[in-house]
Amino acid sequence: MIKHNSGVAQAKVFWREEGATTYNEIEMAPSNGDNWAVDFTIPNSPVNIEYYIWAKAISGKELNRPIVAPEGYWTIQVETLSADEWAQNHISAAYPNPTNGKVFFNMNAIQGPVRVEIHNILGQKLYDATIENGNGKVTLDLNQNWQGTLLVTFEGDFGKIHKKVIKL
C-alpha cells in the first residue's frame, strides 16, 4: 500500500542482488485503490534481493521505504522452485468444483505436450489423453457415469501434479 493525503503520482521499486553496488529501477503501477504492483524478472539462481520503494505524492513530496533507503533496504530470499511447485502455480485448480459435467483448468506458460489422466478413488484409469499445447483453458467433459472424487493428473516436462475434482 502506498498512500498520501494528496494522492500518489508515481512509485518505483529499486532492487539489486545482494552485494551489488547499483540498483535496478522499475516503475510501479496502481493496481487497486492504494495498492501498487510491479512485475520484474529476478535471477533464476538462489540469491538474496535487496530492495526499497520510492514514491512521489501529487503534492511533490518524495519518500523512501524503508525510511533509511537506499542505505537501508529490505531483503527477499529468492529460491529455485521445484518443478512441482512451478506446475502447481501454472495449472489452476479445477472449476467449477464440484461439478456435474464439464470441468476447466487454466494452464499458463506450460511448454510442450501435457498428458492428462483421470483416475477414480479406487485407482481405476478413466481417461488418458495428450494435449499438444498446454497453454490456455483446458476443458474436460466428465462422463455422466463417473461420480465421487476424481484425481486429474497432469504430466509434462514440468513433472507430474495432481488436482482433485468432485463429480456429482
Q: What is the pLDDT of residues 62-77, one digit of tens each?
A: 999 998 888 889 988 8
Structure confidence at residue 133 as a pLDDT band (50, 70, 90) = confident
Every domain of the chain and the residues it spans: 8-78, 83-167
Q: Which residues of 130-149 are buried (b: 16+ CB within 10 A; e: fewer)?
A: ebeebeeebebebeeeeeee
130: amino acid identity, one letter: T
Q: What is the pLDDT of residues 22-52, one digit of tens each?
A: 999 999 998 888 889 888 777 767 788 999 9
The yes/no answer on whether domain 83-167 falls in CATH 3.30.390.10 is no
What mean pLDDT comes out for the span 132-138? 81
pLDDT above 80: residue 134: no
What mean pLDDT comes out for the span 155-160? 84
pLDDT above 70: residue 164: yes
What mean pLDDT comes out for the span 83-101? 81
145 Rama sector, left if φ>0, alpha if ψ -120 to 50, beta otherwise: alpha
Secondary structure class of 83 (helix, strand, coil) = helix
Q: What is the pLDDT of residues 48-60, one digit of tens each?
A: 899 999 999 999 9
